A = this chain, B = another copy of it.
Amino acid sequence: MNNPTIQAILSRRSVRKYLSTPISDEYIQLIVNSGLYAPSAKNKQNWHFTVISDKETIEKINGLTMIGMEKLGIEKEEGYHVFYHAPLVIVLSSVIEGYSGLNAGCAIENMAIAAKSLGIDSCIIGQTRYMYHQANQVDINRLLKIPEGYEHDCSICFGYIDGDAPEPKPRKQDLVDYIR
């Protein structure tokens, strides 16, 4: 079946090697807008997006995350970069409520799929939460323009892939039951 949307969904991979090629403003807008059009429980839209293409800020977040990981004793490979040197990062924050994780997932996946349809790969990053284990939360939230009352959920980095897409990890098919 020639369905480009399902093709984008099935061919999305968590990509960990990027070219430095920047993403155009037009494409950034399409990606962000796709996130904004995600569903949210009771239409609360209780999320905040920080869209970062400034290399210096990306490096700052990487550094803060590294220090947090070190403090927590989490090992990482030599030369590890939390965003794999991707040129665009979106930090997602939420007013934490019963369904905020679910809402955030919908928003971030919309952005990943929209990007894929534009030939742009991505990786969802939970590790940026570790930033908060080393410094003043207020300072980090100021750096990332996270409004008061919002908590950092996760990040997603975007870029053009360097090399070939990884093979998909095998899916657990035994986790589907049918009631027909």
Closest Cβ of chain B to A74, distance in Å, is: 13
Instruction: Please tell me if A65 contacts chain B, counting CB pairs below 8 Å.
Output: no
Interface-centre pick from A8, A41, A153 (highest chain B CB count, 10 A): A8
A114-141 contact mask (Cβ, 8 Å, vs B): 1 or 0: 1011100000101000000000000000
Q: Report whether A176 and B36 are in contact in the complex, using a CB–CB cutoff of 8 Å.
A: yes
A1-B30 contact in complex given A54-B179, A57-B179, C-beta closer than 8 Å: yes
Q: Which of B52, B107, B144, B177 contacts A145 (CB 8 A)?
A: B177
Q: Report whether A145 and B5 are in contact in the complex, using a CB–CB cutoff of 8 Å.
A: no
What residues on B are CB-neighbors of A6 within 8 Å?
30, 34, 114, 117-118
Instruction: Please tell me if A47 contacts chain B, counting CB pairs below 8 Å.
Output: yes
C-alpha spacing A38/B116, complex, angstroms: 13
What residues on B are CB-neighbors of A39 within 8 Å?
12, 14, 109, 112, 124
Instruction: Please tell me if A104 contacts chain B, counting CB pairs below 8 Å.
Output: yes
Instruction: Please tell me if A82 contacts chain B, counting CB pairs below 8 Å.
Output: no
Instruction: Please tell me if A51 contacts chain B, counting CB pairs below 8 Å.
Output: yes
C-alpha spacing A66/B30, complex, angstroms: 40
Instruction: Please tell me if A33 contacts chain B, counting CB pairs below 8 Å.
Output: yes
Closest Cβ of chain B to A1, distance in Å, is: 7
Q: Which of B30, B38, B51, B105 contacts A176 (CB 8 A)?
A: B51
Q: Report whether B1 and A114 are in contact in the complex, using a CB–CB cutoff of 8 Å.
A: no
What residues on B are CB-neighbors of A37 within 8 Å?
9-10, 12, 168, 171
What residues on B are CB-neighbors of A126 within 8 Å?
41, 98-99, 102
A-B residue pairs in contact (CB < 8 Å), sample of 28: A1-B30, A3-B118, A4-B5, A5-B114, A5-B116, A5-B117, A9-B37, A9-B110, A9-B113, A10-B33, A10-B34, A12-B39, A32-B176, A39-B109, A45-B172, A49-B176, A49-B177, A50-B179, A53-B180, A98-B126, A102-B104, A102-B154, A104-B105, A105-B106, A106-B112, A106-B124, A109-B109, A109-B110
